[in-house]
Amino acid sequence: MTKKALFIIPPDRFNEDELFQPKAALENAGVAVTIASTAVGEVTGDNNGKTNVETIFSTESPDVYDVVGVIGGSGTIDHLWGNQELLDFLKQAHTQNVLVSGICAGSVVVAKTGLLSGRKATCYPVDVMINELKANDVEYVVENVVAHKDIITSNGPDGAKDFGESLVQALR
């Protein structure tokens, strides 16, 4: 049976490296990747790259996926950080033993669920994100990827390839 991943991106200004590199790693490993957001249709990234959003994440059932990932980009801060529906979705995924992951600003979304409380994680190395991790009782570490059995976080474009590889490893 094919493994499935759900990548949640902001409705505009996602980070291309953070989406395309892990997506390629998963697809090369035979994992089916679905792109979700708060709206469907074409989305433009921070560097004018384009992708197509196939579904609205809140209409999906997290337990049909093996991994749910929140992708970063400047739009993630504006559109996903404060999205209670998304936080609830990630918590539901976690209770259903779905691997929860986040990269860059997406790591902050995962931290805001409380699932990383008292644990280590990484995000893009800027104060606004590091402070959000700390505010959610998360120990910030300078690593490309921090992988727990149930949650994986990554720092951003520099760690995007490693993030993809760690997701592939975790799904094996």
pLDDT at 1: 78
119 CB burial (10 A radius; 0-12, 13-18, 19+): middle
What is the pTM assigned to this prediction? Answer: 0.98
CB atoms within 10 A of CB 128: 11
pLDDT at 133: 98
* Cα distances (angstroms) measured from residue 87 to each of 25, 59, 92, 111, 153: 26, 14, 9, 9, 15
Question: For every one of its 172 residues, what pLDDT tens digit does the chain have, with 9 covering 90 and above?
Answer: 799 999 999 999 999 999 999 999 999 999 999 999 999 999 999 999 999 999 999 999 999 999 999 999 999 999 999 999 999 999 999 999 999 999 999 999 999 999 999 999 999 999 999 999 999 999 999 999 999 999 999 999 999 999 999 999 999 9
Domains of the chain: 4-171 (3.40.50.880)
